[in-house]
Amino acid sequence: MAAPLIVARDLSKTFLVARRRGGALGALRGLVDRGGTEVHAVAGVSFGVGRGELLAFVGPNGAGKSTTIKMLTGILVPSAGEATVDGLVPWKQRKRLARRIGVVFGQRTQLWWDLPLIESLELLRHVYRVPADRFRSNLAAMRELLALDPFLATPVRQLSLGQRMRGDLAAAVLHDPPLLYLDEPTIGLDLVAKARVREFLAEINRDRGVTVLLTTHDLADVEALCRRMIVIDRGRLLYDGAIDDLRRRYGTHRTLVVDRDGGAWDVAPPLPGAELVKTEGPRAWLRFDRQKVSAADLIAAVAAGAPLRDVAIEEPAIEEIVRRIYGEGTGAAVAEDARSGRTASSGGTLPADEPDRDAPRIIPRSP
Amino acid sequence: MRLYLEVARLSFRRHLAYRAATIAGLFTNSVFGVLIAAVFTALYRDRAGDVAGFSLPEALTFVWASQSLITFAALWGWWEIATAIKTGDVVADLMKPFSFQGYWLSRDLGRAACHFLLRMLPTFLVGGLFYDLALPRSPLTWLAVAPSLVLAVVVSFGWRFVLNLSAFWLLDHRGISSIAVLVVNFFSGFLVPLAFFPPELRAVTNLLPFRAIVMLPIEILLGQRAVAPALGIQLFWAVALALLAQAVLASAVRKVVIQGG
Amino acid sequence: MGRVSELMDELTVCGHLAAARVRSEMQYRLSFALQIVGTFGFYTIYFLSIFILFGHFETMGGWRVGEIAFLFGLAGLSFGIAHMVAGGFASFSDLIVRGEFDRVLLRPVGAILQVIATGVQLRNLGDVLQGMVVLGVALRLVAIDWTLGRLLYFPVVVLSIALLFVSLFALQATLCFWTTEATEVANAFTYGGRDLARYPIHIFDGWLRRLFLFVIPVGLVVYAPSLYLLDKTDPLDLPTWTRFVAPVAGLAFALLAGAAWRLGVRHYRSTGT
């Protein structure tokens, strides 16, 4: 295997957060005296990323995932540790690295707000000094892949969020970067737009060999796209590995969904190791521990009680597993937890509404 | 009435929060005060005696009073309503069962009250501490300054209110803003006391509302002008601009109704 | 050689970025036109004010109206150029607060060049034009003995003043890497420096004069060279060589600002998304 594209060793970022002082005098003193508390936004993170990988950074807001990415792009200088990206040290060789990476921020566009989309793309051609023929063929490919044509001449401020994201994706890859970072690329998008973004990422990863590293708290992104994920919380890695592994190791519970032939369900779980989650008309959901009972046995037992029309087995939802990892703080504890069979709450996405812990506070100016 | 008092109180408290900006602003106003005071001092050093009815202490009082008025009377603009119009928040405010104009006037008076304490008084105190100012001896004069300052804010508000409403018609207020600043700076007597103006130019300033914002309160402070007529002029402009603002607002509302925002 | 061509490439890119910025500004045509008129008028009324004052006073610290007008024009023209170039620094706190400096660091172009290029303020063309007009008026009021030395030194002085003010705006921007709360303080030095530059510096006393002569060398780039250009005697008795160090003062201050900026970038904290 070729040398890895990204190597991070003991990467750390500590912010000094100024104490908030009361009163006008306090505010003035805050300018001079920078005393404050240290916040370890990223505390000794190590990992490697191989060429052609498509992996996700998962964690709640303030977990340190954005800070990690910002160190790997050269925006932030780490407090300790080292990293190379494509052989370059990001914060020392920022400009050279900039030509080899594309970056998309879900909540901020890099397009020129008042200008038509096509003008932004043309400008980026100059910024990255993309040869004209290369630009032409890339633009043609992006127009096709992202269906940009209907709004290519529209000022960016008039685009919908989904259209703008498509524009931003095109903008990020026009200079053929071998590595693409995306920070919350699907945030705020509707389902159709989300699907389009995922499709695009899968395609450039597969067809162009672009290495993709994305942060998200929508685990549906991860399930749809990635084979590997890194779970991070409070600045530390909690898990780094294949999603299937995660499921195998921590997700011992599966759900059997059975459709009864006529009539509603009124049965109790027929075997030890399985419990009835809910019923809805002829359909029932049975949660079972695959270490205690095999799916075949369970189906046979249920079928003995009532005629079945259809059966399906659902894998454990990733978010349920990840939620447990956060809850316990370390992978080892999660494994314990999984074995003890405690139930975890389920839900669509991870908590996103808590205030950023790693972000330095910047107070808007008075009007 | 209670409602408007409450609006003013909330606005007062909101502006109280910008403490760092207050210190920074006081510093900046003071530096400019020192700078302009030095200019007048140099001019008077070369030519002794009163000029255009101003002695040097009176000129210095003018310098520090005018610096104090910048934030208090929001001389250099204020675009909160224009912003509310752009974001569309204004529609909700227009629907509410109170006077839109009264609501914003209350907010602005609350703001001015806060800036009186945080910006105006400290700036003027700095001037008083380091310079020989011509301050009135009679408490009656100080008493007359108070309503004059209130009227200055009301006149300034009327003018700014009309300017803000232009956002109903124009996409971008930066152009209007840059013209408005220079008009106020010059015709209010902020840069040079109007008494120094040549007669033809003075005739023009007499026809405009802007002297009610800066020059008249300062002339009352300096005892250069009879109090009652000065307050009368300020009151006239306060009412006239309020009526104009009402008319402009009415046509803006018609536009909103027709276009649906 | 490689570094030179690299710099040329970056400047070309910045040309495109600046052009885009101007196109964006032009989107609001009426507003843009009004702003040019506004900036022109803004400095015109300041100048008018001085004329009004000089209707009552003969001299200011021994300087006549034409000589003061010369300072106004020189300072106005040079500051106008600086303001046009350094608009991105002047509004840098917005860039930081909105988190958009991240994007600057993600592009393969030097950060200083980008901030300048993406913040060009064409509307400040009004100041530049106004400075030229005032200079024109001044040159009608005072007779300058245009020796070759003066003729050559004049543009150098203009550029030195502009460089000093660009650097001051850059320092103001650098402050934003630490705090965005109290940047108004910097206005006292940028706009305050501009206002001070319009008058002979000997009329200011004590700390204010020392500050703007030796710490922020506004006096060295405007007042001292003007003594030479206008052939004036100096009540401060500054050594004669100080009249010719404007470019040195400008460059030294620019280097200082550049060093502070680099320190600031390393300190950049970025707002969390």
pLDDT for residue A82: 95
Paired sense of beta strands A228-233 and A236-242, if any? antiparallel
**A194 and A220 co-located in one domain:** yes
**Cα A348–A350–A355 angle (5° rounding)?**
140
Distance from CA of C172 to the nearest CA of B (A): 13
Asked if C266 lies within 8 A of A101 by C-beta distance, the reply is no
pLDDT tens across B73-83, in order?
Answer: 999 888 888 88
Condensed to tens digits (0 to 9), the pLDDT of residues B216-226 reads 999 999 999 99
Q: Assess C29–B contact: CB distance below 8 Å, yes or no.
A: no
Write out chain B residues lying below 8 Å of C190, CB-based.
Answer: none
Residue of chain A whose alpha carbon sits nearest to that of B83: A367
Any C CB within 8 A of B50 CB: no
Interface check for A367 against chain B (CB to CB < 8 A): the answer is yes
- Which tokens is A127 given? 């910024």
Domain annotation covers residue A178: yes
C192 touches chain B (CB under 8 A): yes
User: Which residues are A42's β-sheet partners?
Assistant: A13
Residue A44: pLDDT band with limits 50, 70, 90: very high
Among the three residues A186, A214, A246, which one is the final residue of a domain in this structure?
A246
- Tell me how far CA of residue A245 lies from CA of A242, A317, A332, B78, B190, in angstroms: 5, 13, 14, 59, 74
pLDDT at B211 (0 to 100):
97
A107 and A228, same domain (yes or no): yes
Binned at pLDDT 50, 70 and 90, residue B121 comes out as very high
Digit-coded pLDDT (tens) for C201-226:
999 988 899 999 999 999 999 999 99
Collect all residues of chain A within an 8 Å Cβ-Cβ radius of residue B19.
Answer: 23-24, 26-27
Band (pLDDT 50/70/90 cuts) for residue A300 is confident
**Minimal CA–CA distance to A267: which of A256, A279, A249?**
A279
A103 bridge partner residues: A181
Which residues in chain A are closer than 8 Å to C110, comparing Cβ atoms?
Answer: 95
Give the mean pLDDT of C63-73: 95
Residue at which a domain ends, from A273, A298, A314: A314
Q: Does the beta-carbon distance from B23 to A28 stay under 8 Å? A: yes
- A/C interface, count of CB pairs below 8 Å: 110
Asked if the structure places residue A214 within a domain, the reply is: yes
Query: Where are the strands (E) in A29-169, listed by range?
Result: 36-49, 54-58, 80-85, 101-105
- Domain borders along chain C are 2-266
**Which pLDDT score is estimated for A356?**
34
What pLDDT, on a 0 to 100 scale, did the predictor assign at position A352? 34
Which residue, chain included where needed, has tokens 């276009």?
A: B259
Residue among B19, B32, B36, B39 with most chain C CBs within 10 A, to mutate? B39
B260 or A223, greater pLDDT: A223
The distance of Cα B254 from the centroid of its chain, to the nearest Å, equals: 30
B14 to chain A: closest CA residue: A366
Chains that touch B (3 or more CB pairs under 8 A): A, C
Cβ atoms within 10 Å of C143's Cβ, excluding its own: 10
- Determine the Cα–Cα distance for residues A109 and C103; give it in Å rounded to an integer: 9
Using the predicted structure, report yes or no on whether residue A45 has a pLDDT greater than 90. Answer: yes
Cα B220–chain centre separation: 15
Does A108 sit within 8 Å of C23, measured CB to CB? no
B115 touches C at CB < 8 Å? no
Q: Do B175 and C31 touch (CB under 8 A)?
A: yes
Q: Does the beta carbon of A77 lie under 8 angstroms from any beta carbon of chain C?
A: yes
Q: pLDDT tens digits, residue range C231-251?
A: 999 999 999 999 999 999 999
One domain, residues A238 and A259: no
Residues 6+ apart with CB under 8 A from B152: B69, B73, B212, B213, B214, B216, B217, B234
* Domain span at A293: 252-314
Whether residue A164 sits in one domain with residue A299: no
* Best to test chain A binding among C109, C181, C265 (most A CBs inside 10 Å): C181
User: Does the pLDDT value for residue A257 go beyond 90?
Assistant: no
Residue A221 has pLDDT above 90, yes or no: no
In a domain, A336, yes or no: no
At residue A271 the predicted structure's pLDDT band, cuts being 50, 70 and 90, is: low
Q: Which residue has the tokens 């303030």?
A: A62
Give yes or no for B26 touching C (CB within 8 A).
no
Q: How many CB atoms are closer than 10 A to CB A206?
A: 11
For residues A239 and A242, what is the distance between their CA atoms, to the nearest angstrom? 9
Q: What is the pLDDT of residues A312-366, one digit of tens each?
A: 888 776 667 777 777 655 444 333 333 333 323 333 333 333 333 333 222 222 3
Question: Which residues have CB under 8 Å from B129's CB, separation 6+?
Answer: none
Residue A179 in any domain: the answer is yes
Residue to mutate among C106, C175, C183, C185, with most A CBs inside 10 A, is C106
Q: What is the per-residue DSSP string for A288-354?
A: EETTTS-HHHHHHHHHHHS-EEEEEEEPPPHHHHHHHHHHHSSHHHHHHHHHHT------SS----S
Percent of chain C clearing pLDDT 90 (strictly above) = 78
Q: Quote the tokens at residue C46.
A: 């300041």
String of b and e for A342-367 (b: at least 16 CB within 10 Å)?
A: eebeeeeebeeeeebbbbbebeebbe
A117 lies in the same domain as A217: yes
Total number of domains constituting chain A:
2
In a mutational test of the A interface, the residue from B13, B14, B23, B79 whose CB has the highest number of chain A CBs within 10 Å is B23
**How far is it, in rounded angstroms, from Cα C4 to Cα B90?**
54
Q: Check pLDDT > 60 for residue B247.
A: yes
Q: Is the pLDDT of residue A189 over 70?
A: yes
* pTM to 2 decimal places: 0.84
Contacts of C among chains (3+ CB pairs under 8 A): A, B
Q: What angle do CA C85, C88, C90 make, to 5 degrees?
A: 95
Sheet holding A283-289, edge to edge: A274-280, A283-289, A253-260, A308-314
Check residues B253 and B146 and name the one with the higher pLDDT. Answer: B146
Query: How confident is the prediction for chain A on average, in pLDDT?
Result: 80
Q: Percent of chain B scored above 90 by pLDDT?
A: 74
Q: Is position A367 within any domain?
A: no
Q: Does some domain include residue A333?
A: no
ipTM, 2 dp: 0.91
B185 pLDDT higher than 50: yes
**pLDDT of residue B49 exceeding 70:** yes
Structure tokens at A131: 């040869």
Closest CA to C90 of C41, C127, C140: C127
Reported confidence tier of residue A260, pLDDT bands at 50, 70, 90: confident
* Per-residue pLDDT band at A21 (split at 50, 70, 90): low
Which structure tokens are listed for B24?
Answer: 């920074």
DSSP A33: -
Query: Tokens 């006391």 map to which residue?
Result: B193
Size of interface B-C (CB pairs under 8 A): 124
Contacts 24+ apart (CB under 8 A), A224-230: A224/A198, A225/A54, A225/A56, A225/A198, A225/A201, A226/A54, A226/A55, A226/A56, A227/A54, A227/A55, A228/A53, A228/A54, A228/A55, A228/A56, A229/A55, A229/A56, A229/A57, A229/A58, A230/A47, A230/A55, A230/A56, A230/A57, A230/A58
Classify residue C123 by its DSSP letter: G
Q: How many angstroms separate the CA atoms of A26 and A21, rounded?
A: 5
Q: What is the pLDDT of residue A311?
A: 87
- Would you report the helix, strand and coil content of chain C in percent, each value rounded to 5? 75, 0, 20
Tell me what pLDDT residue A330 has. 47
Residue B121 at interface with chain A, using a CB cutoff of 8 Å? no
Alpha helices in C179-245 (DSSP H): 184-197, 206-210, 218, 224-230
pLDDT at B194: 97
What one-letter code names the amino acid at A232? I
Does residue A51 contact residue A35 with C-beta atoms inside 8 Å? Answer: no
Asked if residue A307 and residue A230 are part of one domain, the reply reads no
Residue A284's pLDDT band, with cuts at 50, 70 and 90, is confident
A94 and A242 both lie in a single domain: yes
Higher-confidence position of A176 and A60: A176
| Res. C20 pLDDT band, cuts 50 70 90 | very high
Measured between CA atoms, how close is B33 to chain C, in angstroms?
10
Same domain assignment for residues A159 and A221: yes
Total residue count of chain C as it appears in this document: 273
Indicate the helix (H) or strand (E) that contains C60.
none
Q: Please answer whether residues C94 and A362 qualify as being in contact, where contact means their C-beta atoms are separated by less than 8 angstroms.
A: no
CB-side exposure of B241: number of CA atoms within 13 Å? 25
pLDDT greater than 80 at residue C125 = yes
Q: Could you tell me whether strands A211-216 and A80-85 are parallel, antiparallel, or unpaired per DSSP bridges?
A: unpaired
Q: How far apart are CA B64 and CA B59, in angstroms?
A: 9
Supply the pLDDT for residue B259.
Answer: 57
C21: Cα within 13 Å, side-chain hemisphere: 20
Which residue type does B213 have? I
Q: Is the Cβ of A364 closer than 8 Å to some Cβ of chain B?
A: no
For the segment A55-72, the average pLDDT, to the nearest whole number, is: 89
DSSP B190: S
Chain C contact present for A25, CB below 8 A: no
Residue A357 lies in a domain: no
Q: What is the pLDDT of residue C21?
A: 92
Higher model confidence: residue A241 or residue A325?
A241
Question: Which tens digits make up the pLDDT trace of A192-217?
Answer: 999 999 999 999 999 999 999 999 87
